[in-house]
């Protein structure tokens, strides 16, 4: 049995607490929001974000970050990506040398272009960092629906430790050393999922969705490889797998926000409708900046930025994507 704290009581953190408790671990859930912790203590259910999913009576709920971090074998950092840095700063004084932090949010910081594990290591230099991501909606994981994810770390022992802590008969975990590729796939797919939702909001069909998913993973792979990620990662669970589920499911807050935008709402109105952090909005500018920094063409991501931040009509963005210069699908094949 391991002693584990979930830092962040949103839908994903709550769902993972159920996995970990089912695996026999001692679980503490922390939130900075007192009303959220009071609700969990009283109802043993996150009424707002995971209604109907009950939490065990022997879980601990707290707003005391020192209590949450101290003496734990693992800290699971599950706050939304825009709050990763500020939360890491608060945690630092309570994290012991080589204490393991598993980052489970998805995003790239806009002003620094850093991944979340890089932010954590910068703010908490004494810790060890791993990541956990893949095609995994909290609404399904909380109900113990079969799901697969990947545990990533710079060393095999840490990745396998995370794998063993989380894995069970409905939550299968693979391992990977390509932490950068995993995090880029997880973050950038949210931007493409916004595009997929926008297409749905415009009333387009399955052909359009398939094109966005396929060309979207091509963009993500080009950028990821240019930055040092492995091409195989983007063909796996944290690449195309995560992209498919996020573009296709109504559990996806990014797709839902995109639908509202496609129907004519502004970015702010769409985010208000979804009522949760839409991480693709926060990663969109960072993705565009990374493309410019590494000289990688990102047409879908560029058009999403124009829609979000420059009020470009969504239908015009789709038209401009369709009328781009003619080209081969894969220029590396050559011709006889």
- Does residue 45 come out as left (phi exceeding 0), alpha (psi in the -120 to 50 range) or beta? beta
What sign does the CA torsion over 68, 73, 77, 78 have?
negative
Q: What is the dihedral of CA 90, 41, 102, 75, to 10 degrees?
A: 60
256 close to 279: Cβ distance less than 8 angstroms: no
Provide the pLDDT confidence category of residue 164 given band limits of 50, 70 and 90.
very high
**277 pLDDT more than 90:** no
**Long-range contacts of range 141-144, CB-CB < 8 Å, 24 or more positions apart?**
141/12, 141/15, 141/16, 141/18, 141/19, 141/171, 142/11, 142/14, 142/15, 142/18, 142/50, 142/53, 143/53, 144/18, 144/22, 144/170, 144/171
Pick the closest to residue 298 from 192, 181, 183, 210 (CA basis). 192
| pTM (2 d.p.) | 0.94
What sign does the CA torsion over 247, 85, 16, 50 have?
negative
Topology of the domain covering 187-322? 1.10.1040
d(CA 147, CA 111): 33
Distance of CA 230 to the CA centre of its chain: 19
**172 pLDDT more than 80:** yes
Q: At 3, which helix (H) or strand (E)?
A: strand 3-7
Letter string b/e over residues 123-147, b meaning 16 or more CB atoms within 10 A of that residue's CB: bbeebbbbbbbbbbbbbbbbebeeb
**66 pLDDT more than 90:** yes
pLDDT of residue 222: 96
Catalytic residue, chosen from 121, 189, 209, 288, is 189
- Topology alike, domains 3-177 and 187-322: no
Average pLDDT, the chain: 95
Strands (E) across 46-194 are located at 60-62, 74-77, 100-103, 128-133, 147-152, 171-176
pLDDT of residue 106: 93
pLDDT in tens, 298-323: 999 999 999 999 999 999 999 999 88
For the chain, the domains span 3-177, 187-322
pLDDT of residue 274: 87
Domain boundaries 3-177, corresponding CATH code: 3.40.50.720
Q: Is 189 a catalytic residue?
A: yes
Longest CA–CA span in the chain (Å) reads: 70
Query: Number of C-alpha atoms within 13 angstroms, CB side, residue 329?
Result: 5
Mean pLDDT of the region 51-78: 97
pLDDT of residue 203: 96
Residue for token pair 């792979």: 221
């Amino acid at each position: 049995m391991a002693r584990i704290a979930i830092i962040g009581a949103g839908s994903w953190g709550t769902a993972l607490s159920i996995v970990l408790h089912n695996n026999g671990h001692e679980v503490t859930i922390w939130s900075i929001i007192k009303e959220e912790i009071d609700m969990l203590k009283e109802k043993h259910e996150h009424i707002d974000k995971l209604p109907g999913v009950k939490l065990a009576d022997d879980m601990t709920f707290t707003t005391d970050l020192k209590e949450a971090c101290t003496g734990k074998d693992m800290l699971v950092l599950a706050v939304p990506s825009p709050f990763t840095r500020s939360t890491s700063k608060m945690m630092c004084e309570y994290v012991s040398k080589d204490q393991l932090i598993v980052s489970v949010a998805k995003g790239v910081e806009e002003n620094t272009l850093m991944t979340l594990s890089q932010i954590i290591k910068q703010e908490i230099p004494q810790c060890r960092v791993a990541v956990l991501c893949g095609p995994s909606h909290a609404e399904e994981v909380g109900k113990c629906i079969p799901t697969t994810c990947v545990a990533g770390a710079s060393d095999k022992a840490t990745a396998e430790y995370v794998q063993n802590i989380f894995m069970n008969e409905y939550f299968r975990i693979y391992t990977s050393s390509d932490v950068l590729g995993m995090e880029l796939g997880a973050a950038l797919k949210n931007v493409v999922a916004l595009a997929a939702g926008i297409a749905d909001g415009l009333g387009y069909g399955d052909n359009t969705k398939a094109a966005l998913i396929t060309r979207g993973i091509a963009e993500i792979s080009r950028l990821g490889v240019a930055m040092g990620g492995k091409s195989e990662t983007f063909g796996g669970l944290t690449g195309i797998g995560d992209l498919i589920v996020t573009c296709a499911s109504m559990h996806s807050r990014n797709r839902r926000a995109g639908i509202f935008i496609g129907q004519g709402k502004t970015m702010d109105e769409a985010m208000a409708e979804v009522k949760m952090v839409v991480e693709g909005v926060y990663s969109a500018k960072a993705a565009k900046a990374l493309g410019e920094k590494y000289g990688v063409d990102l047409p879908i991501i560029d058009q999403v930025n124009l829609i979000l931040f420059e009020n470009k009509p969504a239908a015009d963005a789709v038209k401009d994507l369709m009328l781009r210069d003619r080209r081969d699908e894969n220029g590396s094949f050559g011709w006889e």
